[in-house]
Amino acid sequence: MPVTKSGEGTYYAADGSGACGFAPASGGPLLVAAMNAPDWAGSGVCGMCARVTGPLGEVTVRIVDLCPECQTGDLDLSPEAFDRIAEHAAGRVPITWIEVPCDVGGPLVYHFKDGSNQWWTAIQIREHRHRIASLAVEQNGAWTDIERLDYNYFVIENLGPGPYSLRVTDVHGQEVTDQGVPLGDDQDAPSASQLPVCD
C-alpha cells in the first residue's frame, strides 16, 4: 500500500520544466508539482505522480521540479493544480498525498540529452507509469547499470555509437526491455512498451 504523506501545499509559476530536466508542457491542463528536498531522493521522484488532497478536493500531479526550501511532505504545485484543492488566495494549505500510477496513454520514452555521443551518453526516461528505479544497458552479453545523477539523467561513458539494448526497472521490480535503441542528440526514442499496472 502506498504511504500517505502530509505537509503543506503551495503554488509557483510552473511551466512543466525544472530540476527534473523535462521539457516545458504544451497544451492541456498543467497539473505538475515540485517535490520537497527531503523527499527528492536524488531525482528518483522525477516523473512520478501523486494524488494530492487539500481543503476543497483532490488532484493528481506529476513531479517535474525540486522545491529546495520545502519541508518533508510539502509539495509546491502549479497554480492550476493548487486551485483544484484550495482557494487560490489561501496560498498555503495543509495537504496529504500518496504516490499513484501515472495515467499514460503510450509507451515510455528514452530521451537523449543534448550533447550525447558515443563517448558520453545521458539518457532520461519520460512518460513512465511508475517511478524509475534503474536503467541498464547490455554490453558483451551482460547487463550494466547506468548511474543516475541528481539532475535526472542516467549517464555513462564510452557506450559506443549504438544502437543499444536498454532495460528499465521501476520501483515495483517491473521491467521494460528494448533492443535497437538509436543514439540521439536532444532526441526521443520511444520504447516498444510501457510499464504494466501493478495488481
Q: What is the DSSP letter of 160?
A: -
Judge whether 132 lies within some domain: yes
Residue type, 184: G
What percent of the chain clears pLDDT 90, i.e. is strictly above it?
Answer: 92
CA-angle at 130, arms to 159 and 85, nearest 5°: 135
Q: Are 113 and 183 in the same domain?
A: yes
Classify residue 195: in a domain, yes or no: no
Query: What's the gap between Cα 84 and its chain centre?
Result: 22
Which pTM value belongs to this model?
Answer: 0.94
Q: Specify the residue for cell string 509507451.
A: 107
How far apart CA 125 and CA 22 sit, in angstroms, is 10
Which residue in the block uniquely carries the three cell numbers 520537497? 36
Residues 86 and 124 in one domain: no
Residues 80 and 116 placed together within one structural domain of the fold:
no
**Is 85 found in the same domain as 11?**
yes
Shared domain check, 114 and 86:
no
Helix, strand or coil for residue 124? strand
Q: What is the bridge-based pairing of β-strands 154-157 and 164-170?
A: unpaired
- Say which residues have a Cβ less than 8 Å from residue 28's Cβ, sequence separation at least 6: none
Tens of pLDDT along the chain (199 residues)? 678 999 999 999 999 999 999 999 887 789 999 999 999 999 999 999 999 999 999 999 999 999 999 999 999 999 999 999 999 999 999 999 999 999 998 999 999 999 999 999 999 999 999 999 999 999 989 999 999 999 999 999 999 999 999 999 999 999 999 999 999 999 999 999 999 987 5
Residue of 101, 120, 104 lying closest to 112 (CA atoms): 120
Number of domains the chain contains = 2
Show the CA angle centred on residue 40, arms to residues 36 and 46, nearest 5°. Answer: 110
Residue 198 belongs to some domain of the structure: no
Count of CB atoms situated within 10 Å of the CB of 183: 18
Return the C-alpha cell found at 136.
Answer: 541498464
Give a three-class secondary structure readout of 140-185: CCEEEECEECCCCCEEEECCCCCCEEEEEEECCCCEEEEEEECCCC
96 and 9, same domain (yes or no)? yes
What is the domain range of residue 74? 5-100
- For the domain that residue 152 is a member of, what is the CATH number? 2.60.40.760
CATH for 79 = 2.40.40.10
